[in-house]
Amino acid sequence: MSETTKRVVLWGGTILGLFLFVVLLAKLGAGGSSGVLSDDVGPDDHTQGTQGAAVVLIEYSDFQCPACKATYPIVKKIAEEYQDKILFSYRDFPLEQIHAQAFLAAQAAEAAGMQGKFWDMHDVLFNTQATWSGIGAAEDFFVALADSIGLNQEQFKADLYSDSVKKKVQDDIESGNASGVNATPAFFLNGTQITHPGSYDGFKKIIDDALANS
C-alpha cells in the first residue's frame, strides 16, 4: 500500500469516527434536558397522596430492577406518612436491555390499573420480584398474581397485551427519556431530578425541606 493510500485510509477512518461520535451525541441529546421533568403529573398518572399538593415526588422505576426493589419499602413508607402533604406518582421505566421481564411486568401493573388495582399489583410485583425475575415466561405467574389480588382474570389477560396498556408503558418511557432518565430508580421533586437519598432518613429530610420551602 502506498503512502498516499495509507493517508486516505487514515483520514477516512478518522472522519468516520468523528461522524459516529456526533451521531452518538445527537442520540444522547435527543432525550431532552437531563434532570428536568418533561411533563407534569396528568390524569393518566398513578398517584397517591394529595392532589394539588405543593410538593410532588415522581419516580421512574422498573419492577425487575433490584435497586428499585430495595427502594420500594422506603418510598412506600414516605408516601404513606406524607399522604396529606405531598403527591407521589409512579411511572414505568422498564430497562428491557437488561431486564427481560420488565416491560411485561409494567404491562401487568397497568392492566391491573384498568380494574382499579394498580397499586395492589405494584406492591405484589416488588414483593415477589425474586420469584418471577428468574422465570423465562412470566405471564402465567402474573395472571396468578392478578387472581391473588382479586382481579377478573379474563379481563386482566385481555388488558395485559392491549394497545392502551402498551401505549401507557411506552408513554412513560418516552417521558423518562425526555427528562434525561437513564437509570432506575430516578426521582424528580417538583420537576427537578434529585440524587437518590439512599435511606428513609435521607428521603424524609428532602421532603421536609421541600415542605418548609413551599
CA 180 distance to own-chain centroid: 12
Cα-based angle 85, 42, 151 (whole degrees, multiple of 5): 90
C-alpha cell at position 191: 420537576
Longest dimension (CA), the chain: 77
Question: What is the structure's pLDDT at 195?
Answer: 95
Per-residue pLDDT of the chain (214 residues; tens, 9 = 90+): 555 444 434 444 444 343 333 333 333 333 333 589 999 999 999 999 999 999 999 999 999 999 999 999 999 999 999 999 999 999 999 999 999 999 999 999 999 999 999 999 999 999 999 999 998 889 999 999 999 999 999 999 999 999 999 999 999 999 999 999 999 999 999 999 999 999 999 999 999 999 999 9
Question: What is the structure's pLDDT at 34?
Answer: 55
Which residue is associated with the grid cell 396498556?
A: 165
Q: Where are the extended beta strands (E) located within 33-110?
A: 46-49, 55-61, 86-92
172/95 Cα distance (integer angstroms): 12
All structural domains of the chain with their residue ranges: 1-30, 46-212
38/57 Cα distance (integer angstroms): 14
Q: Is 150 helix (H, G, I), strand (E, B) or coil?
A: coil
Q: What is the CATH number of domain 46-212?
A: 3.40.30.10
209/214 Cα distance (integer angstroms): 9
Among 77, 85, 89, residue whose Cα is nearest residue 211: 85
Among 94, 119, 81, 122, residue whose Cα is nearest residue 208: 81
